[in-house]
Structure formats: structure tokens, C-alpha cells
Amino acid sequence: MKLLVTGGAGFIGSNFVHLILHEYPEWSVAVLDALTYAGNLENLDAWKDDPRYRFVKGSVTDASAVEPLVAECDAVVHFAAESHVDRSIMDPGIFLETNVRGTYVLLEAARKHNKRFHHVSTDEVFGSLAPDDAPFNEETLYDPRSPYSASKAASDHLVRAYYHTYGLPVTISNCSNNYGPYHFPEKLIPLAITNLMEGKSVPVYGDGLQVRDWLYVEDHCRAIDLILRNGGLGETYCIGGDGERENIWIVNELLRLLGKDESSIEHVKDRAGHDRRYAINFDKIRNELGWEPSVSLENGLAKTVAWFKENEAWWRCVKSGEYQAYYEKH
């Protein structure tokens, strides 16, 4: 199997590349990544001399870069996306360009060459849940609340349209919040870990009672692998971590793991349009494909803290660059 993995130098994409090249010695992976602020070739350093791995720097919006890579692969796994809600609020345009137009360019190439296409999406397309609402599932109506989630909703609809209109062999997955190795330190968990390791405070939006379902990234990658190989064409699968917790619980658990106290918490003004709760019902993928998360939230957080401790040079390099200037400014 020859895979094209878009956004493969990013957080989830690089973890997926590691999984595939470890698990399938006969498979090969071409990675297409624009290496914007969240893409990092060091994430894939382990494979740089492996003939099964190939890296191409380029944007998913560039048809001249996309088409030859799609033509020579057996399947496309599409991770590439602008993904941070805060950034989408400040600059929606790049989210529409990458997440909507980029998906269109890939779909056109896949249609031309009749390639298997898996689209990686998010539970944020479903909007927000009240405390007593049932978790999201594959039948939940879309209700995006931010430019980011709206752009991902649009790309999901495009993928489905190409299945229904052109018969393109597609699948879609909508996942909950990922965490784990190589996580870019602007999201809650890696930002909290690295700030605490630097002796800084941890910013917490509002009261910190926003609820998220947390999914260890390797569990997510194993689910995508299963969907790619065994998922029903035209089907959507929701992927959850069975780890629904308030943000403030996450921060307090990280304080405990790093030997800090609550004086390290800094409550800041809440994000505009901040969704209050996400939760995922993953019965479909469990019943049809036999997948369920294998890493509990408590164990996953401990593993993640250990990884950041062991890879301090990686995150210090990341935080010393463009991200740090962004964080201090905004």
C-alpha cells in the first residue's frame, strides 16, 4: 500500500506516519506538508533515511504539487488543516483557503485518478452540548460555532458530495480532542505542560468548566488505520476517547503530575463563542470495526508529561520561534 498523508509533519499526521511505518513494513508513505507554524520535519526524523518514506514540501491548495502525488498513491489520508480556534477568530481567510479549497484540490485529484480518500475531521463541526445532552454521534446535525469548525464542516460536506456525485471511495472520521507526543504547544495540554516546566502560569479560559472528551493520539491513529482498511465507503465514524473532563480538571491533573499547585493557574477572559461541552458516542466504530480507546485519560496524561520531559529540546525549539511571539502578542 502506498499512502499519501497530507499534513504528515503536524501533530496527528506525524503520529499516524509513525504508526503506519512501524506496523506495516511493506507499506510506503509520502508526506505532503507546507511546514507552516505547526508543521515540523523533526517530528519525522526517525524515518528520514528509510526508503519507504518520502517528504514533499507543498500546500494542499497547489494542484501542481498535489496531482502527481495522488496519481502515484493507492490512498490519501487527509490531515492537513489550519486547526486552532483562536487563530481562526483572528484570521478566518487562511482557514477557508486551506481547509475548504485544499480539500477540494485533493478531491479533484482523487476523482481524476479514482483513489481511496479518508478525510480527518473534528467533533467541533457539531457545535456545543448542554450538560445533559447526549454525546455527538454520526447522525448529529452540524452546528459549527467558529470559523475553524465552519471550515471543517464545509470540507466534510465536500467529501460527502464527491462520494454521492462521483462515486469517489471516501470515508470521514470526526474525532474528539487529541493529546500526546508532538503536540504543538498552543493547545491546552502541551501549553500547560511546557509552561509549568518553564515555571510559568497556565492560562485557563473563563471558569475552566468547559468539558472536552480527550483522545490519546495513538488511539486515534489506530482508529484511522482501521477505517482506511475496513471502513464502509461513504461512511462517517465518530472517534472518542471515553475521557470527558472539565478543562480545569485537566490542568489540576497536570499540576499534580508536575508537582505544582493551584497558584500556577491564571484565569483569563473566555474565548469568543467558546463551546461549552463536547462528547463523542463511538458505538459505531466499536460495533462495526472493533475499535475502542486503549489508553485511559489518566495514563495518557502521564505518558504525555513523560514524553515532554524526555523531549525538552524539541518543545523549547518550537516555543522559542514564531509561536512564542504569537502567544505573547495575543
Question: Which helix (H) or strand (E) element contains residue 3?
Answer: strand 2-6
- CATH, range 2-184+215-245+279-296: 3.40.50.720
For residue 150, what pLDDT is reported? Answer: 96
d(CA 60, CA 47): 22
Three-state secondary structure call for residue 2: strand
Q: 195: part of which helix (H) or strand (E)?
A: helix 188-197
Mean pLDDT by 10 residues, the chain (330 residues): 97 98 98 91 95 98 98 98 85 94 98 98 94 95 95 98 98 97 93 97 94 97 98 98 95 97 93 86 98 97 98 90 43
Please say if 148 is a catalytic residue: yes
pLDDT given for residue 324 in this prediction: 41
Considering the candidates 33, 82, 123, 156, report the single residue annotated as catalytic: 123
User: What was the pLDDT predicted at 15?
Assistant: 98
Does residue 270 have an active-site annotation? no
Find out whether 42 and 68 touch, Cβ atoms under 8 Å. Answer: no
In this structure, the strands spanning 211-216 and 177-179 are parallel
The angle, 0 to 180 degrees and rounded to 10, between the axes of the packed helices 297-310 and 247-257 is 50
Q: What is the pLDDT of residue 321?
A: 65
The secondary element (H helix, E strand) that includes residue 248 is helix 247-257
User: Are the beta carbons of 185 and 323 closer than 8 angstroms?
Assistant: yes
**Rounded to whole angstroms, how far apart are CA atoms 301 and 298?**
5
- Locus of grid cell 511493506: 26
**Catalytic residue, candidates 33, 82, 124, 156:** 124
List the 28-33 sheet strands across, edge first.
53-57, 28-33, 2-6, 75-78, 116-122, 170-175, 236-239
Cell readout for 218 is 495513538
| 164 CA to centre of own chain | 26
Among 148, 163, 237, 278, the active-site one is: 148
- List residues bridging with 198 in a β-sheet: none
Annotation says 182 is catalytic: no
Q: What is the pLDDT of residue 319?
A: 85
Orientation angle between helical segments 297-310 and 188-197, nearest 10 degrees: 50
Distances in Å between the Cα of 69 and the Cα atoms of 57, 76, 110, 220 are 12, 9, 10, 25
- Determine the pLDDT at residue 323: 41
Residue carrying the nine cell digits 472517534: 239
